[in-house]
Structure 1
Amino acid sequence: MTAVDVRLDHLAIATRFAAGPEHWPVAPRFNPVSRWYERLHVADDHEVWLLTWLPGQSTDLHDHGGSAGAFHVFAGSLTEDTVTTTAGGSPHLTGRELGEGAGRRFSTRHIHRITNRSSRPAVSIHVYGPALTTMTRYRLGRDGLEVRTVEKAGVQW
């Protein structure tokens, strides 16, 4: 069996951070208006974020500006929706629930939406490499994805 190089495996990094919450520089907080997030760590080739989600809180459909990454559900459950197009069909969202301890890697071209559809708060760890510089937010129209906004790190978040 080949050892995983955790410097390059975003999910391994997220899982490692999830295993040591006592080392997080900040404790999770919950905001009743919108999801809460705080950067836990930054390195030359990646960054790590802590996010909290009350029931019903979600992101818009978005990408990560060319960064690859992963997320790990530390507590609760989250649903990830991705855009799927069937042969000859219209694009639609396909959801996948990820429970506590589950994780997901994604590529530099990944577009998704994450929602807490459960009745319990959720906490997740997200890793992006390289660090986020932009995020494009989308709307799913009849003809496919339409760009709504492009946000810049340090300006809009």
Structure 2
Amino acid sequence: MSQPTPAPTAKPHSPAAPSGAPTAADLLAFVRRTAADRELVDSLPLDPEGRTWVRLEGPGGSEAWLIGWPPGTGTGWHDHAESLGAFATARGTLTENALAVRLPASGWKTLELADGLDRSRRLGEGGSRAFGTHHVHEVLNESPDTHAVSVHAYYPPLPLIRRFSRTGAVLRLEEVERPEDWQ
């Protein structure tokens, strides 16, 4: 079976960060380097039923994860609040569906999205991307039979994740998770 061609990478957006804090470019370099570490990637236990993950030491105090994706799994729509982020596919292919809009930080439960905001990209092995704060997306392993593995990094460490449901153009805030919910 041939390996998928890596998708082009996005240019990282680096808003002003505190002195010494990692930028989106730093996070992107870290996830690319880590995804290329075959020994680390191969050490992740894979579960056919659900995602698996191991916390990593990210650059400059960032939060980082190595994640295994069984066939047909995904994150659902979510954002990472005030954190910059980057991820790279180390094995398999992931699809990222994203919204090209900055959502209000608070004060809403349901939004109707305008036409033309949807973006989609496939990130094959070696594919990567960085994103800025308030980036709304979902990540999926659409393969019917192949696990995917990826590396993710966020700075500052995730203060929360907002989870959304989506029906057509309607985006609804469903849940706010805090670090204690996933660590």
TM range (shorter): 0.7 to 0.9
Which secondary structure does the structure 1 equivalent of 2:50 belong to?
A: coil
Which of the two has greater strand per residue?
1
* Structure 1 segment 35-114 matched on structure 2, within 5 A: 35-42=51-58, 44-83=60-99, 89-90=114-115, 93-114=118-139
Which of the two has greater helix per residue?
2
Which of 18, 28, 33 lines up with 1:11 in the alignment? 28
Which of 115, 119, 129 lines up with 2:140 in the alignment? 115
Residues 69, 141 of structure 2: 8 Å contact kept: yes
Which secondary structure does the structure 2 equivalent of 1:14 belong to?
A: helix
Match of 2:43 in 1: 27
Alignment RMSD (CA, Å) = 2.7
Q: Distance in 2 between matches of 1:156 and 1:6?
A: 24
Q: CA deviation at 1:106?
A: 0.7
Identify if the C-alpha distance between structure 1 residues 111 and 147 changes in structure 2 by more than 3 Å, giving closer, same or farther.
Answer: same
Match of 1:124 in 2: 150
Letter in 2 for 1:50: L
Greater RCO, CA 8 A, separation 6+: 2
Residues 75, 100 of structure 1: 8 Å contact kept: yes
- How many pairs were matched up? 150
Q: CA deviation at 1:108?
A: 0.7
Residues 99, 135 of structure 2: 8 Å contact kept: no
Deviations 1:82-114 (A, max 9, x none): 1358xx954774421110000010111101000
Q: Distance in 1 between matches of 2:57 and 2:166?
A: 33
Identity of aligned residues (%): 35
Residues 26, 40 of structure 1: 8 Å contact kept: no
Residues 58, 153 of structure 2: 8 Å contact kept: no
Q: Distance in 1 between matches of 2:82 and 2:169?
A: 23
Residues 25, 40 of structure 1: 8 Å contact kept: no
Deviates more, 1:24-33 or 1:65-74: 24-33
Unmatched segments (≥5 aa) in structure 1? none
Q: Distance in 1 between matches of 2:179 and 2:45?
A: 21
Residues 46, 52 of structure 2: 8 Å contact kept: yes
Which of 148, 151, 154 lines up with 2:177 in the alignment? 151
Q: CA deviation at 1:71?
A: 0.2
Deviates more, 1:5-14 or 1:46-55: 5-14
Which secondary structure does the structure 1 equivalent of 2:180 belong to?
A: coil
